[in-house]
Structure 1
Amino acid sequence: MSDANPALARWLELLQHPNPAAREEAILELELLGSPVALPALAEVFAMDPEPALRGLAQQTGKAIYYGTIRQALEEEREAEPAVSEEERRRAAEILAKAKQSKNRHRRR
C-alpha cells in the first residue's frame, strides 16, 4: 500500500498520532483521497478514539468513502454496458406502437 500511494500510507499512520488535531487532519485528508483502503482504519478510529468528535468524523468520512466507492462502481458498470443503437430504439418504438394499435382495436370491439 505505501508503495502504491505514499500519501495514503502517511495519513493512515497519522490516525495513531497522540495529537487529536493531527488525527483530525488525517481523517479529513483521507476523505479527500477517497480510497476504500482507509475504511478499516477509519472504523477503528470510530470504535476506539478517545475523542467523541473524531469518532463522529471518522464515521462520516467512512460513510462518504464507502458510498463514493459504490457510486463509482455503478457508474463504471453503467458505462461498460453496451449502448442501445438508434436503430434498436426505432425498432422498439415501432413494436410498442403496433402493440398499442392492436390493444386499441381490441377495445373497440
Structure 2
Amino acid sequence: MASPLGEKIRARRTELKMSLDALAVQTGSSKSYLWELENRDNPKPSAEKLSRIAEALKVTLEFLWNAEDESPDEAVKDEAFFRQYQKLPSAEKKRLQRMLDAWDDDE
C-alpha cells in the first residue's frame, strides 16, 4: 500500500505526463528509489531528495508532506502569498494580522 506521499508523487507525475525515468534524471535519483517512494507504505526520503522531487514536480515541500488533499495549485498560491507577506513592511503585516484576528472573532 502506498503512502500519501507516494500517492501525491505518482499523481503529480502522471498529471505532468512525466515518467519515472524523467523524474529520476531531474532529481538525480534512481528510478528504483522513486518507485520505492511511490509504492512503499512508509517512505523516509531525505529533505534534500524531497526538495528536488518537489522542484521537479512544480509543487511545494509542504504539499508533498501535508496529509490533507490540497491541490498543487492551491499550495503554490499559498507559498506565493506567504512570500508576498514576508516582504511587507511591519506596519502592513500588523494591519493584515488585525484583519485576520477580526475575521476569526466573527466565527
User: Under TM normalisation by the shorter chain, which class is it?
Assistant: under 0.3
Higher relative contact order (CA 8 A, sep 6+): 2
Say which structure is richer in helix.
1
State the TM-score, normalized to the length of structure 1.
0.27
Determine which structure has more spread, i.e. the larger CA radius of gyration.
Answer: 1
